[in-house]
Structure 1
């Protein structure tokens, strides 16, 4: 399997399970309706584990443009490979969002809250203040990427490792379980302000799907906010790469 295909599949599974748990909690007449934030945070942790497990052997399982851009900033991924990864991640996120809609189609039809329907695709702030939300996304993504870099096999980040020689993060015998727990922790501790996108593809791809699908009684796709979960994670991931470089 190529790295491009692996990133599509990994990101697709990430969104299918991640946005799927949101749909299960917020849409009407589901078995998981009103199960709460703990269920959503745990579900996203599992989603990261599944997506990363599927893609790791072939692409390194970035499944997040913020991680790929951080690898670029660390000098371990070329610009061309970074762009390829991001395109694959966007495709995977889009496919995953369509699958969530098809799976929960009857429950979308039964739901009358347009904000709840949008939440099954994209994030939104609890209190609307774009600059504050941007800061939260920066910090949340920094708290994701820096610990990941601190977990990796040391040889991956050493200066003598060629660019693109191995895109895998080298997380050792526990694999992506620590990253899944990290995402669960970010959700529980830092997710209450913006819904912790911490992944531009996770938000933008599904937001486009929400805009295009013929969902009855849906609201607009909140494009005035859409830059926040794109720019915030990119800045946060880049700052994490810089911080790691200074800590080496």
Structure 2
């Protein structure tokens, strides 16, 4: 149940703030898990010829940081990236400009966040994006190579960043 709440944080926050219905939140939860598993299975199927001829690499499935042992640094970047995306999502409804300008702005912002954070942490920015592919990798390949000790960063960083983003957005 604890993992469920961690993975669902963003959708849960939207349901609590009445931005989406609880049924939509449940649908998003199921879709995220199914989508992440399907994406991992697709990578494995499409690249199996190559994956079987080279050392198995977690990087094809889950987030892998540039420097594994910089825990606080990686955590901070995951939290900052998620914080930025959450603030943007929460305040867009309050800004009175046309929808396409909001869409372009949000797209550019998310691209900038991913481009900045990805080389540092692998940019999970969503616990499901790391947890489910890492689970797939564990079930399909080698459990020892799944780096589960690091998975706390792409799970906890986005949750902390999301909570802080919601608090700041509500204060604004």
Q: Same fold (TM over 0.5)?
A: yes
Higher helix share: 2
Which position in structure 1 is the counterpart of 2:58? 118
CA apart distance, 1:200: 0.7
- Alignment partner of 1:93 is 2:36: yes
Q: Deviations over 1:140-190 (max 9, x none)?
A: 1001111222223669xxxxxxxxxxxxxxx82357544333222112223
Structure 1 residues without counterparts, runs of 5 or longer: 1-63, 156-170
Do the aligned partners of 1:73 and 1:242 also contact (CA within 8 Å) in 2? no
CA RMSD across the alignment: 2.8
1:151 aligned onto 2:92:
yes
Matched, 1:104 2:51: no
Q: Is the aligned partner of 1:202 residue 2:129?
A: yes
CA contact (8 A) 1:93 1:206 kept: yes
Alignment check: 8 A CA contact 2:71 2:153 kept: yes
Matching residue of 2:145: 220
Structure 2: gaps (5+ residues): 1-6
Distance 2:158 2:54 in 1: 31
**C-alpha spacing 1:183/1:120, structure 2 compared with 1 (3 Å):** farther
Contact 1:71/1:77 (CA < 8 Å) preserved in 2? yes
**Residue 240 of structure 1 corresponds to which residue in structure 2?**
165
- Taking the aligned partners of 1:65 and 1:183, their CA distance within structure 2 comes to 20
1:138 aligns with 2:104: no
How far apart are the structure 1 equivalents of 2:9 and 2:107?
16
Kindly report which structure 2 residues correspond to 1:168-207, keeping only aligned pairs within 5 A, or say none: 172-173=99-100, 176-207=103-134
In 1, Cα distance between equivalents of 2:21 and 2:35: 21
CA distance in 1, matches of 2:8, 2:45: 25
Measure the CA separation in 2 of the matches of 1:69 and 1:132: 27
CA distance in 2: counterparts of 1:103 and 1:225, whole angstroms: 27
Q: Which has the higher contact order (CA 8 A, sep 6+)?
A: 2
Cα distance, 1:219 vs structure 2: 5.5
Partners of 1:97 and 1:91 lie apart in 2 by 10
- TM-score, normalised to structure 1, is 0.57
- How far the C-alpha of 1:120 sits from its partner, in A, is 1.2
Show structure 1 runs of 4+ deviating over 6 A.
none
